[in-house]
Amino acid sequence: MNNPTQVTRSRFEIEQDGQTSYLEFETDGYGWMTIWHTEVAESQRGKGIALELVTTAFQYAKDHFLKVDVLCPVAHHIAETHPEFQPLLRAK
């Protein structure tokens, strides 16, 4: 039996110079993706990796017809400053 309240936790990763940066998210059976946390390796900061991770997450949401709830401050800032992400965000 498929339970629509089932939550699946996952993450997108970028490995560069032996360092792993990632964005953690969950999806549920109601058409939502929640972005929990973005972590960029200290040596990789300032190279656009957070933007790449958040863009990947929003593209995933778009491809899978998901609305996005952003709890991560880094991802929230990026989402707020990129109008192309706005249609996928939870209405305030």
Domain ranges of the chain: 8-88
pTM for this predicted structure: 0.87
Phi-psi region of 48 (alpha: psi -120 to 50; beta: other; left: phi over 0): left
CB 24 within 8 A of CB 37: yes
pLDDT at 9: 82
pLDDT at 92: 59
Topology of domain 8-88 in CATH is Aminopeptidase (3.40.630)
The pLDDT of residue 24 is above 70: yes
Q: What is the mean pLDDT of the chain?
A: 90
How confident is residue 79, by pLDDT bands cut at 50, 70 and 90?
very high
pLDDT at 32: 95
The pLDDT of residue 14 is above 90: yes
pLDDT at 4: 53
How confident is residue 1, by pLDDT bands cut at 50, 70 and 90?
very low
CB 16 within 8 A of CB 49: yes
List the beta bridge partners of residue 23.
12, 38
Q: Where are the beta strands (DSSP E) in the chain?
A: 8-16, 19-27, 32-39, 67-70
Helix, strand, coil share of the chain (percent; to 5):
35, 35, 30
